[in-house]
Amino acid sequence: MSEQLLDAVNGCLSGIGEFPVDNLYVSHSDAALALNTINRTRRQILSRGWWFNKEENWRIPVDQNSGNVFAPDRALSVLSMPDNRYRQLTLRSGSVYDVDAHTFDLRSIADNDGYIKLGFIVDIDFEDLPPTAQHAIALVSKRVYAQDMEVVQARWNFQVRDEEQAMAGLYREDGRNAKKNQYKDSKLWNHFQSNVMRRGTRPF
C-alpha cells in the first residue's frame, strides 16, 4: 500500500476524531472501513471517465462460436469507437452487450478479421492515479466516511468546500488534457506542426 493511500485513510479517521494508523496491515476496524470507503469512492469517480482512464483503440477478438467479446479485467464501462458509434454497448458479467440488438453476439459489427475496436473506462489503483485525482478522491472519501459513520453534520460540513475545490481542479486538468488530445488528433494541428513549428517559425 502506498504512502498516499495511507494518508487518505488517516484523513478519513481524522475526520471522525480517530487517531491515525502507522500502516494498513494492522487489525483496525475503522481503518478497514475507511479503506473500503476510499475504494468505493474511487470507482464511482473514475466511472465518469477522465483523460487518464479512458483507453481507446482496443482491438479485441470476437469469439467465432458465440460472438462474445470479453472486456479487460478492470473495465468499468465501454466506449463505442467510430466504427460502431451508433450502437448502444454496455458491460454485463464481464462481456460487451449490445443494448440495441439485445445480444452478446457482436459478430455483425466485427471487422473482417474477426476483431472489434472498442474503448473502455478502466479502474486504476489509488497509488497509480495522478495527484489531482488522489487528492479529490481522498477529500470526497473523508466526507462520505464521516456520513457513513453517522458523524454529526457540523463535524464534516466545513470540508465540503475543500472537496468541491479539489474536484474542480480535477475537472480543469481533465479539460486541459482534452484540449491537448484535440490538438494532437487534429489534421490541421499536425499540418501546423510540420509546416510551421518544425521550420522554427514563431506562430505569434
116 touches 63 (CB < 8 A): no
Q: Are residues 133 and 98 in the same domain?
A: no
Whether residue 74 is found in the same domain as residue 58: yes
Q: Are residues 117 and 59 in the same domain?
A: yes
Question: In this structure, what are the phi and psi dihedrals at residue 79, rounded to the nearest 5 degrees?
Answer: -115, 130
- Residues 105, 13 share a domain: no
Length of the chain: 204
Full domain range(s) for residue 37: 3-48+127-184
Would the pLDDT of 191 be above 60? no
Among residues 92, 77, 80, 79, the alpha carbon closest in space to that of 123 is found at 77
Per-residue pLDDT tens digits for 134-155: 999 999 999 999 988 887 777 7
Looking at the structure of the chain, the number of domains it has is 2
- Residue 70 bridge partners (DSSP): 95
Asked if 11 and 105 sit in the same domain, the reply is: no
pLDDT in tens, 20-63: 998 887 777 899 999 999 999 999 999 999 999 999 989 999 99
Distance CA(190)–CA(73), nearest Å, equals 35
- Single pTM value for the model: 0.81
**Average pLDDT in the chain:** 85
8 A C-beta contact, residue 4 and residue 127: yes
